[in-house]
Amino acid sequence: MSVTTTEIPVLALAGASKSFGAVHALREATLELRAGEVHALMGENGAGKSTLVKMLAGVYRPDEGTVKVDGAAVAFHGPLDARDAGVAIIYQEPTLFPDLSVAENVFMGRQPLASGRRIDRKAMHDQVNELFARLGVELDAERPVRGLSIADQQIVEIAKALSFEARVLIMDEPTAALSGAEVDRLFGVVRTLRERGAALMFISHRLEEVFAICDTVTVMRDGAVTFDGPLAGLTSDDLVRQMVGRDLDALFPKETASVGSQVLKVERLTREGVFTDISFEVRAGEIVALAGLVGAGRSEVARAIFGIDRWDGGSVELLGRPIHNGRPNAAMRAGIGFVPEDRRQQGLVMDLSIARNATMTRTRALAHLGIIRAASERALATEWGTRLQLKYHRLDDPVGRLSGGNQQKVVLAKWLATQPRLLIVDEPTRGIDVGTKAEVHRLISQLAGEGLAVLMISSELPEVLGMADRVLVMHEGRLTGHFTRAEADEERIVRAMSGQTQEVAT
């Protein structure tokens, strides 16, 4: 684990900046990856990690600064340029061909050839088996990729990277969807690669994993690098402090609401292999945040409560009456509104008009003898548009033409029109610019002030801390933390998110 800093880094980023419109996603970031070293990249969501990775992958080009390979500045014009330079990226969701065999996935477009340019299947399978042997894993080269676990698919991606002699391997949250044994296997592979002189970068939120496998670390916050150096001698407290430590600004106009009677009661809710033994309640006028890492099972709990997915055990009660398992219609009628995570795919019909989208949950009430008149549709849409301060040109415009924040308001309008008692919002401000974000926050907090019970799922810690009356934290499908507004701080939540459960309150 010797770190020789005099060596020329295999891949480096020098003073790189990148802006999208007015948003500075990355500011003068510097990073150096050296052979035989595992480098951790840490930071909260939105800190600029993925922008940095995409720059190394050739997806983005820096506005300022340079990417350097072996100390020489290069310009990647696309992912293929980066690949030819020996840089391989393993994304969280592998990009493979499900219908083709493992071996073909590794060698697609570069299959070994026999005479007459025919594919030499035997040589291909032998080479893939040899790669797997080098990695120390057993995987059948001839089986189709369809049905492989995410962990195995990552191994296929790593084998692919090795097959074109990648010298730099960047893994974007590879362990997010893996079980304990799978993580051990992956780490074994990572150590093997390090011994063979590869430069590796490892993105993870899990502190214990970073300490287990990494030699050096770069911490990012708000698009800038806040720490860069060897991991030795650092504690998890040091890292957490580097990642957070920012003032909560006026982004969160939290109104103090009087907390009323119980609205939602979830008891021992379990869905096999997804989440286990989840119990909590949400009261009228209260905003309860569900925090955790991507893949911790937060959205899945919300989906189960709303009836999109079935649960295997436990119960859900709304206003003291049980909710049927697996029936969104029943949940809606009982008084639950659900603003999903992916507004473009699940929340809206992008080609339909604003009016249609905003009234979609109320078609039954609006219809007279089965016919919906455009006028009543518009009246209802106008009412909610005004209440939510929706900025639009005409109600007949397709909803896809609105900005992200205004689209989110249409989704909110759609659910508020059903007059729910409980509103579940999943990542309410993802992909929304800062100004509109504050407006969405104001709106949610105002609704809670009017007595609505809100369950908010969020990956952004400032949002969680700024908005919530209570914070629940999930880790790998279980509740690992429960904090009141007074108790909640960034360090405690981050700890609970990474599975350190010593602080579970009752």
Binding site for other proteins (CB under 8 A): 79-80, 83, 95-100, 104, 108-109, 111, 113, 117-119, 135-140, 142-144, 146-149, 151-152, 179, 181-182, 184-185, 187-189, 191-192
297 or 340, CB closer to other proteins? 297
- Tell me how far, at minimum, the Cβ of 139 lies from other proteins, in Å: 8
What is the CB neighbour count within 10 angstroms for residue 173? 21
* Token representation of residue 469: 């009356």
- Tell me how far, at minimum, the Cβ of 97 lies from other proteins, in Å: 4
- Tell me how far, at minimum, the Cβ of 123 lies from other proteins, in Å: 13
- Tell me how far, at minimum, the Cβ of 377 lies from other proteins, in Å: 31
- Tell me how far, at minimum, the Cβ of 180 lies from other proteins, in Å: 10
In sequence order, the 6+-apart residues with CB closer than 8 A to the CB of 255 are 445, 446, 448, 449
- Tell me how far, at minimum, the Cβ of 175 lies from other proteins, in Å: 13
Please give the full DSSP string across 188-219, using - where no structure is assigned: HHHHHHHHTT-EEEEE-S-HHHHHHH-SEEEE
87 or 417, CB closer to other proteins? 87
Burial class (CB in 10 A: 0-12, 13-18, 19+), 10: buried
* Token representation of residue 276: 């286990």
- Tell me how far, at minimum, the Cβ of 460 lies from other proteins, in Å: 28
* Token representation of residue 148: 């492989």
What is the C-alpha separation between 372 and 367, in angstroms, rounded?
4
111 or 315, CB closer to other proteins? 111
3-state secondary structure 219-259: EEECCEEEEEEECCCCCHHHHHHHHCCCCCCCCCCCCCCCC
Q: What are phi and psi of 163, to 5 degrees?
A: -65, -25
- Tell me how far, at minimum, the Cβ of 115 lies from other proteins, in Å: 11
32 or 152, CB closer to other proteins? 152
405 or 477, CB closer to other proteins? 477
What is the C-alpha separation between 286 and 69, in angstroms, rounded?
52
3-state secondary structure 258-274: CCCCEEEEEEEEEECCC
185 or 303, CB closer to other proteins? 185
In sequence order, the 6+-apart residues with CB closer than 8 A to the CB of 130 are none
159 or 467, CB closer to other proteins? 159
**DSSP code of residue 102:** H
59 or 372, CB closer to other proteins? 59
